[in-house]
Amino acid sequence: MTNTPTNTPVVNQPIGDRAEDRIADPTRHYDKPMDVVNDPTLQPDAKRQILESWKKDAELLSTAQDENMSGGEAPGLQEVSLALDRLEKTTGRSN
């Protein structure tokens, strides 16, 4: 019998493409937040973790833009929030 950690996302992924990498840097793996929602290789919890990470990055970017320190990165907080909302509606879960 093997024990798997409960905080590790369940992901059907190609060799060498780890869920932790996607969570740590979603924009390296996806062009748009909705691409995460539509990724058939990920379980809903992994998608949620990736989008939450992306949301946190977008919030930090929004704060930086408010302080005139933007780097011009996209997508913005609204696009990530919309993707999270769509995921919640499709999985029947809410935060």
Q: What is the mean pLDDT of the chain?
A: 77
Which of 73, 49, 60, 70 minimizes the C-alpha distance to 83?
Answer: 49
d(CA 52, CA 60): 12
CA distance 1 to 90: 33
Whether the predicted model's global pTM rises above the 0.75 cut: no
What is the C-alpha separation between 2 and 56, in angstroms, rounded?
Answer: 33
Amino acid 32: pLDDT: 95
Q: What residues does each domain of the chain span?
A: 30-90
Per-residue pLDDT of the chain (95 residues; tens, 9 = 90+): 444 444 444 444 443 457 889 999 999 999 999 999 999 999 999 999 999 999 998 888 877 655 565 555 555 889 999 999 999 999 886 55
Task: Give 38-63 pLDDT, tens digit per residue.
Answer: 999 999 999 999 999 999 988 888 77
Determine how many CB atoms are found less than 10 A away from the CB of residue 19.
21
- Long-range CB pairs of 58-61 (<8 Å, 24+ gap) are none
